[in-house]
Each structure stands twice: as C-alpha cells, then as structure tokens.
Amino acid sequence: MLRVLILGGTGDAAELTARINNITEIEAIASLAGRTREPVAPVGNVRVGGFGGVTGLVEYLQHQKIDVLIDATHPFANHISGNAAAAATETGIPRLLVNRPPWEKQAGDIWIEVENNTEAAAALENQAKRVFLTIGRQEISAFSHLQEMWFLMRMIDPPNADAVIPPGLMLFDRGPFSLEDEREILTNYNIDTIVSKNSGGNATYPKIIAAREMGIKVVMVKRPPVPPGEQVTDVESAVKWLLEKSRI
C-alpha cells in the first residue's frame, strides 16, 4: 500500500484526493491548513492544522510512513510549498507540485501587473475610487491606508477582530462564482477597479471576464516563484504520475 500525503485547501486537492481514494493500492491522507473556519474537506482521511515548519513536517512524514508527498496547495501558499520541498528533500521521498496555469492576459483586458499587495495598493492611489478587493482576508491590511477609496472586500471568513481594514463593505462568499453574478456585483457597486491574485483555474475567473467586458481595470498580483522539482498542471496528470510511482 502506497501512502500519499496531499497538502490541500484547493478544489484540485479535493478532486485529487477523491480520485486517489478510488485506487485500491494507494492510501491518501489530505492535509488542510485550517485557515478557513469551515473548509470544504475532501472525503476520506483528513487532518487539519499546520505541521510546525519543516521539522514538524519531516517528523510527520516519517511517523506516518508517507511514501509520496503531493503539494496541491493554492498557488500563493508559497511558504508551505517551500516547506514541502525542503521536507521531501530531507526525507528523500518523491514530491509533486500540482501547479495550475496562471491566467493569461487576453485582448480587451486592462491589467496592471504587480509583484505583491504592497505594489497593488500603490497602483490604486489616484487611480481608483471603488475597488473590488478579492485577495481574501489575511492581507487586506495592506490597503487600510487608502482612506479616500471605498472597498468591496470579498472573503470566505471575517478577518481577525484586531485586523486593520480599509473603508467599505465586507462580502462573505465562497467560489465558484458565475459570470452573471460577477457582472451584477461590478454593476451594483459601481466598481471601477478589481484587485486579484493570479490564482488561475475556473472558480474565480468570471470576474476577469466581466471586467474585460465592462472595461474595468484589474490590478493583478503575480504569483510567487515555486520551488524546483517535478510539477504538473492538472489532476489527471497528477494521478498518472502517482500511478507510475506506485508501480516502481
């Protein structure tokens, strides 16, 4: 029996876990960071919470006799991806990164591409009045000094009670989002600029399509670099890779 640890928190991770659970010779353990209060947990063996850095992850991999590590975390979860790479190297077990392709700028898109949230906030100054902020709850404080703007802040859970947030309204919702709903939000709240991470995938892409249609600017935060190693772009390729490992 091949034991696989899947670092998850994404739809890809949940789908991958479900696929692996149907393979009799492979046992999957899905790990969620626990940052979302009511995560959409995969069916099967699931653990919730951090590991305690590289050292804790190494101990877990060894204690649980994990044979393969698959990193299917969010493209912006670069800290855990770095820890996963280091732990796999230390333990000598194979590691695969499931890294879905980023969105590519299309004709009609008005993108301002930036490296991080600090640059995104700077890009808004004197350029925006009503902003749709779609980066989640953990980093909204980077925009709190922009008191002359109004923000519609979409997130799954409320920010911490002591969080410093920009002026505006919080909208609690979880993707996937429809194109019709995104058009309605942009229209009803008179949005002139969107701030988004380049997460890739289909779940949140409709806001980009709606912005393109309506001529709305998008401040697009680029992805952080990923650690070197084997990677695939989709669940099907990850399953194929894992099946090949199970035959070794």
Tell me, what's the pLDDT at 114? 98
Write out the chain's pLDDT in tens, 248 residues: 899 999 987 788 888 988 888 888 888 888 887 555 555 555 567 777 888 899 999 999 999 999 999 999 999 989 999 999 999 999 999 999 999 999 999 999 999 999 999 999 999 999 999 999 999 998 999 999 999 999 999 999 899 889 999 999 999 998 899 999 999 999 999 999 999 999 999 999 999 999 999 999 999 999 999 999 999 999 999 999 999 887 74
The reported pTM is 0.88
- How many whole angstroms from its chain centre is CA 205? 13
Tell me, what's the pLDDT at 42? 58
Tell me, what's the pLDDT at 38? 55
Tell me, what's the pLDDT at 44? 60
Tell me, what's the pLDDT at 242? 92
In contact, 7 and 75? CB cutoff 8 Å: no
**Ramachandran angles phi, psi of 7, nearest 5°:** -80, 115
CA distance 103 to 230: 21
**167: cis peptide before it, omega within 30°?**
no
Question: Residue 203 is encoded by which pair of tokens?
Answer: 């779940």
Tell me, what's the pLDDT at 206? 98
> Domains of the chain, with CATH numbers?
2-100+225-246 (3.40.50.720), 111-221 (3.40.50.1980)
Count the Cβ atoms, other than its own, within 10 Å of residue 100: 19
Count the Cβ atoms, other than its own, within 10 Å of residue 51: 21
In contact, 171 and 154? CB cutoff 8 Å: yes
Residue 88, SS3? helix
Exposure b/e, 214-245, CB count within 10 A at least 16 = b: eebbbbbbebeeebeeebbebbeebbebbeeb
Q: Which residue has the tokens 């099946």?
A: 243
Number of H helices and E strands in the chain, helices first, is 7, 12
Tell me, what's the pLDDT at 37? 56
Question: Residue 129 is encoded by which pair of tokens?
Answer: 């009045």
Question: Residue 182 is encoded by which pair of tokens?
Answer: 């995104």
